Amino acid sequence: AGHHFDFFTTTLSISPLKNAQKINEIGEALAEEYGVPHLPSDFKKQEGYKRSIQLSADYNLYRQDFCGCVFSKKEREAKAHGEA
């Protein structure tokens, strides 16, 4: 079922560990495949990562401290328990 979105994008480009150019290339390919325009982004520009940390602190927002994959989560848990 279509949701009729005007655009799609991602916040992944905020991470200093992510390649915004590659992310945007994938977004453009998906835009062609699904017929929904992609809004390219690189949220690292203009100290975007630093600003995101400050805004999160200002608004008491949760910041996930692992990438989301099971391996990263296990590594974070091991460090929290002094195992790494």
Express each pLDDT in 33-61 by its tens digit: 999 999 999 988 888 889 999 999 999 99
Going by the DSSP 8-state scheme, the letter that residue 14 receives in this structure is G
Residues in Cβ contact with 54 at an 8 Å cutoff, skipping those fewer than 6 apart: none
For 69, left (φ over 0), alpha (ψ -120 to 50), or beta?
Answer: beta
What pLDDT is attached to residue 84? Answer: 61
- In this structure, how many other beta carbons lie within 10 angstroms of the beta carbon of residue 67? 14
39: closest CA among 5, 6, 7, 3? 7
pLDDT tier for residue 32 given thresholds of 50, 70 and 90: very high
